[in-house]
Structure 1
Amino acid sequence: MPDGLRLALTTFTVLPVRAGRVDRSAAATAMGLAPLVGAGLGAAAGGATALLHAGGAPGLVAGAAGVGLAALLTRGLHLDGLADTVDGLGSYRSGPAALEIMKRPDIGPFGVVALVVAVLLQAGALGGLSGTAAVLAGTAAFATGRVAVSWACRRGVPAARPDGLGALVAGTVGTPALALGTLLTAAVAVPAVPGRPWQGPLAVAAGLAASLQLVRHAVRRFGGITGDVLGAAVETAASVALVVLVLR
């Protein structure tokens, strides 16, 4: 558990945590704990949004600051993964040819559009909330983004490459950890929409459904998951969950 927690923190955040043992056993624990790390990141993003709202900042400015803080705390890796994955899918190539495109340091037009849409959706949705509502929504949505990683790393999902993050974590998360992480994330989402206890879990389900579809398509095209695909799953699930949370 300590090694898995350290691996989860070093993988999903910039926190200066001393690295522990890195193997598939620790990876299984880390991917199972991903929703917990996501909840902390979401609370920070929602808290920053709420503080700026309280200071009189416009909604979009407050939301953008919250999303920017989250990107800073994660080194922007998930956004980078989203852009690379969409570039690979948008190339209409498969297997090694698509993976080679994803490894390029530049971002293509498909990736740029995906980044803009994701950031605008998250900033707009989060910025439309204030106070406790922003904190609760951020917590629920970012936890959903990370439980999507747990699902992407479930047993039976292969890695696209023999090395890298995807190879380390692919197929490591079992059904009990998946069920527990999903149920806890849904429970955290219940108070995110006052008066509508069903809307929070619905947002979690919608975010997971979108990310699962993306991962399924990526596995079909690339042959498995990569670290970039995991980042894309995070941003897709979090964006969809935030949009559903602010629907009235």
Structure 2
Amino acid sequence: MRLDGLRLAFGTLTVLPTPAPRQVNRVTAGGAMLLAPVAGVVIGGLSAAVVAAVQAVQPDADLLAAVLGVVTLCVLSGALHLDGLADTADAFGSRRDRETKLRIMKQSDIGPFGVVAIAAVLLVDVAALTTCIQAGFGWQAIFVATVASRLTLPWSCRTGVPSARPDGLGAMVAATVRPYAAALVTLAALTLLLALAWLTALLSAPIPESAFIGIDHAASAIPISLTDNPAAPSVALWPALIGTALAILLTTALALVATRRARTALGGITGDTLGATVELALPVALLTLALAV
């Protein structure tokens, strides 16, 4: 059953080739939402690899690395969440009644609110990631933000949150994740990401001058770090740890606020509101990291 949930998570949340689950029901769907951060680890890792590769080839191309990293993430997720963001923005931007909002969200076209929402989110993603790259926390930032944004799915699908429709993705996954399970997954993700932040700060720290006792003074004056690139900026430990923890905290809070808003305006969640929450959580996480590191 867990394997089916993992297969459904990758099949739904990524474009990566994945075997179809043997059966799809609400139990499997709940497992898929609970394991959504695992899919985030994979596509976040691939996007981080793109950022790191661009920096290795052209260290000064910070904006290019950020753009390609964000584009890679969009491609790997099939732009599914961006579509949900656009539909949700159009629906809520209409300021109409519940039935009209739900009807707008089912339409295939994108209105002005949807276009602005997509453009704004992508611009913030690229700008914040560029800042993180310049601070020496680039590929780590997109990895952290991708995993953190996918943590919104188990919290959005926790028990007590109904579906706005009797059918569709929202009906399949609504109220399928117990809060304690979402909390355990969040704790596991937090542990992993804090370890990454700690290792980044450790490996980028400059070697103190005391380590060069007995070495020629001129040579010891050269700034050396534990990384292969001595010119790379040093990442401070506490800002990296605090930024990572805050990114997890704020994206989780966003999921709680978003589901409350969806219940008030729509009567529950839909597949579109889930995608919108993921896409809003990504810039929130990246901005948090950009301001922290």
TM range (shorter): over 0.9
2:18 corresponds in structure 1 to 17
Q: Write the deviation string for residues 29-65 of structure 1: whole angstroms up to 9, x where unpaired.
A: 1111011111221121122112112222632221111
The partner residue of 2:173 within 164, 169, 174 is: 169
Q: What's the CA shift for 1:185?
A: 2.1
Rounded Cα–Cα distance in structure 2 between residues aligned with 1:42 and 1:94: 37
SS of corresponding position for 1:234: helix
Q: Write the deviation string for residues 8-45 of structure 1: whole angstroms up to 9, x where unpaired.
A: 11011112212111100111111110111112211211
2:269 corresponds in structure 1 to 225
1:60 corresponds in structure 2 to 63
2:162 corresponds in structure 1 to 158
The partner residue of 2:127 within 124, 129, 133 is: 124
SS of corresponding position for 1:128: helix
Contact (CA 8 Å) 1:49, 1:126: kept in 2 or not?
A: no
Rounded Cα–Cα distance in structure 2 between residues aligned with 1:53 and 1:125: 16
Unpaired runs of 5+ residues, structure 2, are 202-236
Write the mapping of 1:16-165 to structure 2, written as runs, cut at 5 A. 16-20=17-21, 21-56=23-58, 58-130=61-133, 133-165=137-169
Rounded Cα–Cα distance in structure 2 between residues aligned with 1:44 and 1:79: 19
Q: Write the deviation string for residues 56-80 of structure 1: whole angstroms up to 9, x where unpaired.
A: 2632221111111111111100011
TM-score (normalised: structure 2): 0.80
Which residue identity does 2:257 align to in structure 1?
Q
Unpaired runs of 5+ residues, structure 1, are none
Q: What's the CA shift for 1:94?
A: 2.9
Q: What's the CA shift for 1:127?
A: 2.7
Q: Write the deviation string for residues 145-189 of structure 1: whole angstroms up to 9, x where unpaired.
A: 111011000000000111111000000001231111111222233
Q: Write the deviation string for residues 184-219 of structure 1: whole angstroms up to 9, x where unpaired.
A: 222233243731222211111112222322232122
Contact (CA 8 Å) 1:140, 1:185: kept in 2 or not?
A: no
Q: What's the CA shift for 1:130?
A: 4.0
Q: What's the CA shift for 1:88?
A: 0.8
2:278 corresponds in structure 1 to 234
Contact (CA 8 Å) 1:67, 1:123: kept in 2 or not?
A: yes
Q: What's the CA shift for 1:105?
A: 1.6
SS of corresponding position for 1:198: helix
Runs of 4 or more above 6 Å deviation:
none
Q: What's the CA shift for 1:107?
A: 1.2
Which residue identity does 1:151 align to in structure 2?
W
Contact (CA 8 Å) 1:187, 1:201: kept in 2 or not?
A: no
Between the two proteins, the alignment pairs up a number of residues equal to 248
| More off after superposition, 155-164 vs 123-132 | 123-132
2:3 corresponds in structure 1 to 2
Contact (CA 8 Å) 1:140, 1:188: kept in 2 or not?
A: no
Mark the structure with the bigger radius of gyration. Answer: 2
Correspondence 1:213 to 2:246: no
Which residue identity does 1:152 align to in structure 2?
S
Contact (CA 8 Å) 2:153, 2:278: kept in 1 or not?
A: yes
